[in-house]
Amino acid sequence: YLSKYINKNKQKYYENLQSVRDRNDWESLIIYMLKGIEETSINTLDVLKKIVGLIDDTKREIKKELPHIYSKELIDVLFHEFYTKIIYVEKELGISRKTASKYLIELENAGFLVSEMVGRDKIYINHNLLNLVKEADF
């Protein structure tokens, strides 16, 4: 988010705005904003590279530890959001509810997911992905 850059460099932002008002100095404001876009883009690309690395590591580890349940579609479900539910796995993989539940329990027991009750639903959190994004501090 560009707002993080602006908040981090708030004084310079206000100085550039004032410069536009006082001297019609748009160039300084535009350069400031472009620098913000550049910095934000670099940070975002870094986070995306880390996510891709996490996906690759997770694929490799699931293939090694749980090869009988590994599929590209399963990885897609695990990384679509920070959490998943039995119904999501069931629908995406075209498997029964019982099998989807079994897969998620195996993934939790192997440390790939952490389950939590939310109301009447059990969700399975991809804690590695969630922590990575939290650390990115967008």
Q: How far is Cα 49 from Cα 42, in angstroms, rounded to an integer?
A: 11
Is residue 61 within 8 A of residue 112, CB to CB? The reply is yes
Q: Write down the pTM of the prediction.
A: 0.83
Q: How far is Cα 89 from Cα 123, in angstroms, rounded to an integer?
A: 11
Token pair 């599929």 in the structure block, residue: 71
Token pair 């748009």 in the structure block, residue: 26
pLDDT given for residue 98 in this prediction: 97
For residue 138, pLDDT over 90 is answered with: no
Q: Tell me the per-residue pLDDT of 52-93, one tens digit each, with 9 for 90 and over.
A: 999 999 999 999 999 999 999 999 999 999 999 999 999 999
Q: Tell me the per-residue pLDDT of 85-118, one tens digit each, with 9 for 90 and over.
A: 999 999 999 999 999 999 999 999 999 999 999 9
DSSP letter (8 states) at residue 84: E
The arithmetic mean of pLDDT across residues 8-32, rounded, is 97
DSSP percent split of the chain into helix, strand, coil, nearest 5: 75, 10, 20
